[in-house]
Amino acid sequence: MANMFDYLTWRGDLSLSQSPFQDVDSLILSTMSYIFFDGVVAESMEERITIGEMADKFLSRPQAEWKLRLPEDEKLLRALRESDRFINMELCGYVNKLDFQTEKQFAALTILLGDGTVLVVYRGTDYSLVGWKENFNMCFMDDGPAQQDAADYLTRVAAAFPDVELRVSGHSKGGNLAVFAAAKCGQLLQKRIVEVYNQDGPGFSEEMIQDTGYLSILPKVRSFLPQSSVIGMLLEHEEAYTVIRSKSVGLLQHDLYTWNVMG
Residue 95, phi then psi, degrees to nearest 5:
-125, 135
Please check the confidence at residue 128 and state whether its pLDDT lies above 50. Answer: no
Q: What is the pLDDT of residue 228?
A: 73
| Cα 224 to Cα 254: distance, rounded to the nearest angstrom | 11
Kindly report the average pLDDT of the chain as a whole number: 89
Confidence grade of residue 136 (pLDDT, cut at 50, 70, 90): very low
Confidence grade of residue 18 (pLDDT, cut at 50, 70, 90): very high
Confidence grade of residue 130 (pLDDT, cut at 50, 70, 90): very low
Q: What is the pLDDT of residue 157?
A: 98
**Candidate from 56-70, 140-154, 220-234, 243-257 with smallest mean pLDDT:** 220-234
Please check the confidence at residue 140 and state whether its pLDDT lies above 70. Answer: no
Q: Are strands 104-112 and 117-122 parallel, antiparallel or unpaired?
A: antiparallel
Confidence grade of residue 69 (pLDDT, cut at 50, 70, 90): confident
Q: What is the pLDDT of residue 129?
A: 38
93 CA to centre of own chain = 14
The alpha carbons of the chain give a radius of gyration, in whole angstroms, of 17
